[in-house]
A and B are shown apart, each in its own frame.
Chain A
Amino acid sequence: MFSFCTDPSILDDWFWTACYLTTGVHMSFYMSFLKVLLLLAVTAPVALAFGFGGAMLARARFAPLSWVGKGYIALVRGVPDIAFFLFFVIALDQGIEYLRHKVLCADWDMPIRQGSDFVVCQAAKMPLGNAAQWVHETYGFALAVFTFALVFGAFAANVLFGAMRAVPRPQLETAEAYGMSHRQTFWRVLVPQMWVYALPGLSNLWMVLIKATPLLFLLGVEDIVYWARELGGTKTPRFTDYPHPDYRMWYFLALLVFYLLFTRISEVALDRLMKRLTRGQATTGGEAQRRAGA
């Protein structure tokens, strides 16, 4: 990257490090941090939407709908842990291919599961065998986002369901007394007020979501963990201008610091948001703010 990097072998330590940290592969490493941030940026709203939908379903007055919502919450929260991630990505992939196979290759007469193989026709492959590299990567990433959103959506649904029930009943009765319909009460009174009750749970969830991002590695996405392992490994002079011993410890130390900073910044930001949302609410926090201001 720098002009003095043309012959790394003669450089002294400081320059060598500067050159080493700006090689092309390191740029991919830095890009993978963006990938993690992108995952968070995409997953958080999608999971929130899933959660909102789940909570609305669970609250539905029509019993079967409410069972679906409660079932979704209980099912995902009950299945232990990363096994869900490992399971779901394959299951989702096979599910999509199975459906496409049924639609696109209706005249196929062989069974799909042949012993240890999962066979679908060429046209049903997802993504198609001849698709470009970026399509494969995007598809893998999208599967990961969907899995994350589905799992965290169930947790968000649980939080929001609790928050909706925590809104003081008199607030809703007042809305009804003003002649608002059920729908109007929900959107104009309940939803604006529930956030302050949901925020502690949601911020906890956000922390857990941040800390779950390294699991992208298990889903086969080239994320920061992948690159830290790649770049940190011992490099010999035969293959690179920048030979070095095993640096993986330092790369993972950097990741550790990255996550610590990230969680710390989120904590501070969420505290501020909580203060802002508490303003004017009928809670002890809101009351304390009112007294302090008066």
Chain B
Amino acid sequence: MSCLQTIQDYGLRSLGYGERLLPREGFTLCEQFTLIGSGLLWNIYFGVIALLVGFFFATALGVGKASANPWFRKPAEWFIFIFRGSPLFIQFFFGYFLFLSLKSEYAFFAPFTAAWLGALIVLFLNTAAYSGEIFYGALQSIPKGDVEAADAYGLSGWSRFRRVIWPTSLRLAWPAYTNEAIFLFHATTLVFFSGFPAWQQRGDALYYASYFADKTFNPFVPYPILAGYFILLTLCIIGVFGLINSRLNRHLPQAQRRKIRLRPNLIR
């Protein structure tokens, strides 16, 4: 079977299109590359949506935690503490079983037990908490002069926040936020190892990689393929976030711009 045929059969396997049965024997390199790459679609889906939606919630959390009013501050502090203080792995398990119990009570929650929605919600809450802490830190380190200048221009309240405080804090937070985005994409690999079932063997990249490692009893092929895919994905994220970073800093002289430094961290 030619490699093109394999790509046609398995390229979208993780979404349920193409060949139904996974390869069982005589695993070729092409099959492994195709299936793991196909699983990567799920990682991208989880990561992109959780980041996009999480960004707004994280901004709200950061502002809430920095607020002087305890009615905003306390809930934000607790939310951030709960999601940053416990392992994501346990949060996935808890989320899954919570949705499972809710499903038995109300039929409305049926889609929540599937990974595409349930895991997405957990990831969204998790990334919102981590980024919320980053944004909070950035809000704390806005140069005093910027705010004073805004006051001098007669800006206050919402317009001061929108025109001065928020853009500045975003600029300060961006390098850390880029790292957070990278970890989020890495964290998406936990989804199918944590209770959420891979329905009809439609899993993510790590799901297929471990499928091959189990079947061939040879970890030296699928995991490096997975790592390679993730390095490419990381480079793409750095590229996109770098573009946004230079857009955010476009008013600064070239030499003063803050470069994004990759600071790899592990597991949350």
Contacts and interface: CB of A to CB of B under 8 A. Distances in A.
A86 interface: yes
Interface of B: 25, 27, 81-82, 85-91, 93-94, 97-98, 100-101, 104, 186-187, 189-190, 193, 206, 209-210, 213, 215-220, 223, 226-227, 230-231, 234, 264-268
A249 interface: yes
B100 A86 contact: no
20 contacts: A80-B186, A81-B266, A81-B267, A82-B190, A83-B227, A86-B223, A113-B218, A116-B218, A117-B217, A152-B266, A211-B86, A212-B266, A213-B87, A246-B100, A248-B97, A252-B94, A256-B94, A259-B90, A260-B81, A260-B85
Contact of B82 (A117, A118, A210, A260): A260
A31 interface: no
B264 A212 contact: no
Contacts of A86: 206, 209-210, 213, 219, 223
B227 to A, nearest CB: 6
Contacts, number: 120
A80 B227 contact: yes
Interface string A129-164: 000000000000000000000011001000000000
Contact of B90 (A94, A113, A218, A252): A252
Contact of B217 (A116, A259, A260): A116
Interface SS of A by simple majority: helix
Interface residues of A, number: 43
Nearest to B233: A80
B8 to A, nearest CB: 25
Contacts of A215: 89, 267
Given A118-B217, A225-B93, A78 B226 contact: no
B223 A83 contact: yes
A232 interface: yes
A151 B266 contact: yes
